[in-house]
Amino acid sequence: MKKVVVLGCGMVGSVIAADLSKKYKVTVVDKNENNLRILSTVYSVKTLTADLSAKKEIKNIIKDCDLVIGAVPGFMGFETLKTVIEAGKNIVDISFFPEDAFLLDDLAKQNNVIAVVDAGVAPGMSNFILGYHNQKMSVKKFECFVGGLPFKRTLPYEYKAPFSPIDVLEEYTRPARLVENGKIVVKPALSEAELIEVENVGTLEAFNTDGLRSLLQTMKIPEMKEKTMRYPGHIEKIKLLRDTGFFGTDKIEINGAKISPMALTSHLLLSHWKLEENEPEFTSMIIKIVGTENGKFRKYIYRLFDRFDEKTGFSSMARTTGFACTSIANLVLEGDFTKKGISPPEFVGADEKCFSKVLNYQKQRKIIYRRSSE
Angle 12-13-14 from CA coordinates, rounded to 5°: 90
Pair type for strands 138-150 and 281-293: antiparallel
Q: What is the mean pLDDT of residues 324-334?
A: 98
Q: Which amino acid is at 369?
A: Y
Say if residue 207 is exposed, middle or buried (CB neighbours under 10 Å; 0-12, 13-18, 19+): buried
Please name the residues in contact with 350: beta carbons below 8 A apart, sequence gap of 6 or more. Answer: 131, 132, 134, 135
Q: What is the CATH number of the domain that holds 228?
A: 3.30.360.10
Give residue 168's pLDDT: 87
Give the number of other CB atoms < 10 A from CB of residue 163.
Answer: 18
374 occurs within a structural domain = no
Residues recorded for the chain: 374
Residue 294 shares a structural domain with residue 173: yes
- Kindly report, residue by residue over 60-87, the tens digit of the pLDDT: 999 999 999 999 988 899 999 999 999 9
| CATH classification at residue 57 | 3.40.50.720
Q: For residue 164, is pLDDT > 80? A: no
Examine the domain organization and report whether 164 and 295 are in the same domain: yes
Q: From CA 326, how far away is CA 88, in angstroms rounded?
A: 20
Cα gap 48→31, rounded to integer Å:
8
pLDDT, tens digit, for every residue of 241-284?
999 999 999 999 999 999 999 999 999 998 899 888 889 999 99
Across the range 349-354, mean pLDDT stands at: 98
Check whether residue 260 and residue 339 sit in a common domain.
Answer: no
> Residue 166: enclosing H or E segment and its boundaries?
helix 165-173
pLDDT-derived band at 167 (thresholds 50, 70, 90) equals: confident
Is the distance from CB of 90 to CB of 68 less than 8 angstroms?
yes
Q: 155 lies in which domain range?
A: 125-307
For range 324-352, the mean pLDDT: 98
pTM above threshold 0.85: yes
pLDDT > 70: percent of the chain: 100
Same domain, 154 and 170: yes
pLDDT of residue 277: 86
Task: Report how far Cα 3 is from the mean position of its chain's Cα atoms.
Answer: 24
Residue 348 lies in a domain: yes
* Chosen domain end from 307, 326, 341: 307
pLDDT at 312: 92
Q: Is residue 373 part of a domain?
A: no
Count up the domains in the chain and report the number: 2
Check residue 166 and give its pLDDT.
Answer: 82
Q: Residue 341: pLDDT above 90?
A: yes
